[in-house]
A and B are shown apart, each in its own frame.
Chain A
Amino acid sequence: MSPPLLGVEEEGQSRVSSPSVECISQNGLGIREWNYLGLSDFCSVDSSCVPDDNGNNLNLKATELRLGLPGSQSPERETEHCFLNSGKLDEKTLFPLLPSKDGICSSSQKSVVTGNKRGFSEVKGTIYTEKKWMGHGAVPDSQSLQPVSHGKYSVAQAYVKKDGPANVVQEQPCTSNGTKVNRTDISNNSSAPTAKAQVVGWPPIRSFRTKTLTTSSKNNDEVDGNPGPGTLFVKVSMDGAPYLRKVDLRMYSTYQELSSALEKMFSCFTLGQCGAHGTPGKEILSESKLKDLLHGLEYVLTYEDKDGDWMLVGDVPWEMFIETCRRLKIMKSADAIGLAPKAMDKSKKDC
C-alpha cells in the first residue's frame, strides 16, 4: 500500500552499481587507480617485498576454503602465522575484527575455527576473509600485494576486559553488503546472524552523543521496540480483516492524519463491506463514503494503552496518545457499545 506507512524511507542502501557510481568508474579509474600516483614501480620495490613475520607475502593456503566438522580446528593454519604469541590468547574469546592472515586463528583455542563449519555468522566472517585474500591474489600487477595481515594483534585487546570473558559479544556492525567480520563466543553461536560485535571506542563517536541519541530512540520506540530512531510502529487490526497492518505513529501529528491514513490502508476491506451492506452497488467508492463508513457508521478506532486497557482514540492530546498507544484496533461500532455515539460525533467533527 502506501509506502509512507512503512516508515522511514531507506536511502542508505549500498547500491554499488547505481548510476552515480557508474559515472565514476567509467573514468577508467579501475586501471588508473593503480598508476594514479605513478608509483607502481616504486611501490613494488619498496613494499611488496617487505617480508612479514612469516617471510612470505601471500599465503595461498590460507585462502583455501575448507569445510569441516564443527568445532574441529584447521591445524595447518592455526599456529603458522599467529602474530600474537603472547599469553593473552585466553582473552581472545572474542575474535579479532581483523581478518587475520592466519585465518582467524589467533584467538583462543576454544573459540576460533577457521575453514570449518560453524554458525552462520562465523562462516560469513571467514568467507569474507578468504575472499579478501583471493581478491588480492587476483590483481596481478598490484604493487601493494602485501598480505593485508593487519598484524594479527587481535582486536580483542580492545575489548573491555574488566567485564570478564565471554561478555561483550554483540557482533560488529554489518554492512548492507552483508559483509561481516564477526565472531561470537562459542556460547553465542546460536545467536541471530545479525548480532554485532562491539569494540570499545568504535565507531569513534563521543559518548555524549551516543547517550543522547539512545535516549531519544528509547523515547521513540519504547512502545513497540522498533528498528530505527524516530519511528513508532504499532499494529493495526481491523475486525473482519484477514491480516493486520503496521503504522508508524511518528509519521503523523494529528488524529486527523492518522485516521485518513488508516482509511486508505483499510479501504480494501471496507469495500467488500460496503457492497454487502447494501450501498447501491457502486464500484467506485468516494472517499467521503469511506470516511462515513469508518467514522460514523461502521467502525470506531480504538487503542490498547500501556496498561492493557482498550480506549477510544481521540480523547487525549496527540503526544500523550503516541506515548501510551501500544496497538490500534478498528472495531465495529456495534462492539464499541457505550462509547460509539459520542465518539462518532467527535470524529465527525474532526473530519
Chain B
Amino acid sequence: MNYFPDEVLEHVFDFITSHKDRNSVSLVCKSWYKIERYSRQRVFIGNCYSISPERLIARFPGLKSLTLKGKPHFADFNLVPHDWGGFVYPWIKALAKSRIGLEELRLKRMVVSDESLELLSKSFVNFKSLVLVSCEGFTTDGLAAIAANCRFIRELDLQENEVDDHRGHWLSCFPESCTSLISLNFACLRGEVNLGALERLVSRSPNLKSLRLNRAVPLDTLQKLLMLAPQLVDLGIGSYVHDPFSEAYNKLKIAIQRCKSIRSLSGFLEVAPHCMSAIYPICGNLTFLNLSYAPGLHGNKLMKLIQHCRKLQRLWILDCIGDKGLGVVALTCKELQELRVFPSDPFGAGNAAVTEEGLVLVSAGCPKLNSLLYFCQQMTNAALITVAKNCPNFIRFRLCILDPIKPDPVTNQPLDEGFGAIVQSCKGLKRLSLSGLLTDQVFLYIGMYAEQLKMLSIAFAANSDKGMLYVLNGCKKLRKLEIRDCPFGDAALLEDVGKYETMRSLWMSSCEVTLGGCKSVAEKMPSLNVEIINESEQMEFNLDDKQKVDKLYLYRTLVGHRKDAPEYVWIL
C-alpha cells in the first residue's frame, strides 16, 4: 500500500545506497519496483554473463555507474585460459547505442580492448570515472583515447592490469582544458612516460587527490609533482632511488613535508632503503601503507619506517618483514584493521618468510584486525586458536601456507581445529581461504559455524565428498565457492543442485567430477550455465560421461548460454 506520492518515495530511496538494500526494496511491490528502477544510478553486476546489457539498460534507464566483473577469481592464478571470455565491448556497444548517460565504469578481470576504450571515450559526454582492476587486452593507445576525449574525466585508476605499453604519449593527450582530474593511477604501466606532460597535467589539476606513479617516474620528477600538488591524499611513488647526500634528496624532503594530507602511501617500485627517512614526516598520518611491491625494503630500514606509522589501518607488506617485523607492527599499529603479507619469493627457498608466530603477534597487538591475507611458511592449530580468540572480528580470513598440504609442524595434525576455531569465533566471517593439511572435519566446522560466509576458497583439502556437502548444506549465505584439487565428485556435486541458483558461481578444477555429473546438473538446472573447460589434448571430443572434468565453472544466469565462448569451453 502506497500512501506517498512517488517523488517522496524516490527521495526516501535516495538514502538507500547499498546494492543489496536497493535490490530488496525493488522486491516489495510493483510500484516500489518501478520507482526504484527509475531512480537507480549505480548497478553492480558480479558476473557479466548473468545478465545482458540490453536487459540492464531496459530496467535502469537512469544508470550512471556500472561495475562489472568478468572472469572467475581463479583466473588470477592462470587457471583460466586467456580467451575464455569476459569481454567488455558488447556492454559498451550496447550502452553507447542507448540513451544511458554513463559516467562511471568499474571493471574487474575483464578483457578490455582499445576499441572498447575508444568507443567508451566517444560515447558518453559526461564520462567521469574509469577504474580497471586486473584487466587486460588494452594498450596505452586506449588510454590515449580516454585522455583525449573524456572532457570531464575525474578518475583514471588502473590497478594491476596487463597493459601493452606502447610508450606512447598518452599523458600528453589530456587536453590543456582538462583540469578536472581527481585521481590518476598508472602504477601498473611498465613503460616510459612523458615526464613533462605529467608535470603539466598535475599543475593544472588543482583537485588532484590521488596520484600513483609508475616505475619510470624518477625521484626528481616526484619532487616536482609534490611541490605542485601538496594537497594529495594518496600517493604512489614510482622510483625512489637516489643519493641521500644529493640536492635532489634535500628538495624532496622539503616537498614531502608540505604534503600534510597524505594518508595513503604505496609504490616504491624501486627503492634505495637508505633514503626512507625523508618519508618519516608523513608516516604519522598514514592510514594505508602498501609496500608489497618493494622487495628492496626490508630489515631494519623497514621496521624503522613502520615504527613511525602509528595510525595505520591497512598494511600491505612482503614477507621479508619476517616475524620480528610483524612484532614491530603489533607494537606500533594499534589501529590496524587489514593486513596483507605477500610472499617475496614464492618458489624460493623460503628464507625470508613469516610463520605462525608473526600472525599471533599481530593478533595480540592489533585487536581491531578484521581482514587478513597471509602467505606463510607454516601454521599451527595452536596459533590459529589463539588468533581466533584475540581477533573475533574477522570478516576476511585468507591464509595461504606455501606448501599447500602442510600439517601443523608441531603436532603433525591437520589444521582442522585451527580453522574450526576461526569460524566459530568470527561470527561475521564473510570470506575464507584455506590451506595446509585439511580433512573433511574442517568443512564440518565451516558448515556448522560459518553462517555469514559468502566466499570460500579451497585447495588440496578434504578426504571425500562429505567435505563439500557440509559446506553446501551448512553455509546458507554462500555465494562463491571455488575448489581446486579436492576429492569431490559427482555425489557431492549433485546432492543439491538447487543450491547453485542461490549462489553466484561454483568453480571446481582438478576434482573428481565427471562429464556425466556436469551434464546432469545442466539438465536439472536450466537457469545455470555449466561450462567445462578442456585444455588437455587427451580429452579431445570424447563424450564418455565417465570422463573426469578438468575445470568446471557453473553460474546462475538469466540469459542462457553465452555466445562468445571459445572452442575449448563446452557449455552443457
A228 contacts the other chain (Cβ, under 8 Å)? yes
Contact for B405 among A16, A98, A174, CB less than 8 A:
A98
**B185 → chain A, closest Cβ, in Å?**
14
A153 contacts the other chain (Cβ, under 8 Å)? yes
**A152 → chain B, closest Cβ, in Å?**
8
A288 contacts the other chain (Cβ, under 8 Å)? no
Contact for B460 among A12, A98, A257, CB less than 8 A:
A98
Contacts of A136 in B (CB 8 A): 412-413
Is B349 a contact of A12 with CB atoms below 8 Å? no
**Residue of A with least CB distance to B319:** A12
B441 contacts the other chain (Cβ, under 8 Å)? yes
Is A216 a contact of B402 with CB atoms below 8 Å? no
Is A201 a contact of B78 with CB atoms below 8 Å? yes
- 0 or 1 for each of B70-81: is its CB under 8 Å from A? (1 = yes): 000010111100
**How far, in whole Å, are A317 and B385 apart by their CA atoms in the complex?**
53
**B243 → chain A, closest Cβ, in Å?**
6
Binds A, one of B13-21, B174-182, B337-345, B524-532: B337-345
The number of residue pairs between A and B whose CB atoms lie closer than 8 Å in the complex comes to 310
Q: Give how many B residues have a beta carbon under 8 Å from the other chain's beta carbons.
A: 112
Is B537 a contact of A175 with CB atoms below 8 Å? no
Contacts of A99 in B (CB 8 A): 405
**Residue of B with least CB distance to A14:** B355
Chain B 307-365 interface residues, beta-carbon cutoff 8 Å to A: 319-325, 327, 342-357, 360-361
Is A227 a contact of B349 with CB atoms below 8 Å? yes
Is chain B's binding surface mostly helix, strand, loop or mixed?
loop
Contacts of B404 in A (CB 8 A): 97, 199, 202-203
Contacts of B424 in A (CB 8 A): 37
A64 contacts the other chain (Cβ, under 8 Å)? no
B194 contacts the other chain (Cβ, under 8 Å)? no
Knowing A175-B403, A229-B295 touch, does A12 contact B439 (C-beta < 8 A)?
A: no
**How far, in whole Å, are A25 and B321 apart by their CA atoms in the complex?**
24
Which of A10, A33, A36, A204 has most B Cβ within 10 Å? A204
B222 contacts the other chain (Cβ, under 8 Å)? no
Contacts of A253 in B (CB 8 A): 242-244, 272, 274-275
Is B79 a contact of A83 with CB atoms below 8 Å? no
**How far, in whole Å, are A94 and B420 apart by their CA atoms in the complex?**
32
Is A205 a contact of B485 with CB atoms below 8 Å? no
Contacts of B416 in A (CB 8 A): 144
**How far, in whole Å, are A157 and B513 apart by their CA atoms in the complex?**
13
**Residue of B with least CB distance to A90:** B538
B128 contacts the other chain (Cβ, under 8 Å)? no
Contacts of A201 in B (CB 8 A): 74, 77-79, 484
Is B378 a contact of A175 with CB atoms below 8 Å? yes
**B364 → chain A, closest Cβ, in Å?**
9
Knowing A151-B486, A227-B351, A253-B272 touch, does A12 contact B78 (C-beta < 8 A)?
A: no
- 0 or 1 for each of A198-234: is its CB under 8 Å from B? (1 = yes): 1111111111111011011101100000011110000
Which of A146, A203, A252, A319 has most B Cβ within 10 Å? A203
Is A206 a contact of B353 with CB atoms below 8 Å? no
Contacts of B550 in A (CB 8 A): 157
Knowing A10-B322, A176-B377, A204-B76 touch, does A229 contact B344 (C-beta < 8 A)?
A: yes
**How far, in whole Å, are A50 and B469 apart by their CA atoms in the complex?**
14
Is A208 a contact of B441 with CB atoms below 8 Å? no
**Residue of B with least CB distance to A131:** B412
Contacts of B456 in A (CB 8 A): none
Knowing A9-B299, A153-B512, A213-B293 touch, does A161 contact B537 (C-beta < 8 A)?
A: yes
B207 contacts the other chain (Cβ, under 8 Å)? no
A269 contacts the other chain (Cβ, under 8 Å)? no
**How far, in whole Å, are A16 and B381 apart by their CA atoms in the complex?**
13
A339 contacts the other chain (Cβ, under 8 Å)? no
Is A230 a contact of B295 with CB atoms below 8 Å? yes
Contacts of B385 in A (CB 8 A): 29, 33, 36
5 CB-based A-B contacts, threshold 8 Å: A36-B385, A144-B414, A148-B439, A148-B463, A181-B405
Given contacts A150-B405, A202-B404, A208-B188, 12 further A-B contacts (CB under 8 A): A8-B351, A24-B386, A29-B385, A33-B411, A33-B417, A37-B445, A97-B405, A150-B460, A157-B510, A176-B377, A216-B296, A253-B244
